[in-house]
Amino acid sequence: MAVTEYQERVYALLRQIPSGKVSSYAALSKALSSSPRAVGGALRRNPFAPEVPCHRIICADGSIGGFKGEPQDAPSGINQKEKLRLLKSEGVMFDESGQLLDNSKWWSSFVPIEARS
């Protein structure tokens, strides 16, 4: 599947997030000089998951956020359960309401990726 130059930049930054850590749509968009909504669009179309770990991106308020194009409050909750399972397997835990339990799990040390000229 072909990806855009913007998606390549998003996915390159995602690969920088270590297992057991999470970042936010806002932090990723800041590192890209972009918007959280644009980041969400790129994550929704990530053909390389879970090797490109889009599950490590949560909302800035510590809530789990959406996954695989499904919003956090989607009725089925199937994708959110998968995201929670993936993060739990990396040691990132959330409470019953979907809030991050340990703030030391936040990561934002992105090394900027330059756009191609």
The residues annotated with a catalytic role in the active site are 54
Structure tokens at 91: 């040691």
What are the backbone dihedrals phi and psi of residue 23, each rounded to the nearest 5 degrees, phi first? -135, 180
Nearest to 39 by CA among 10, 9, 16: 10
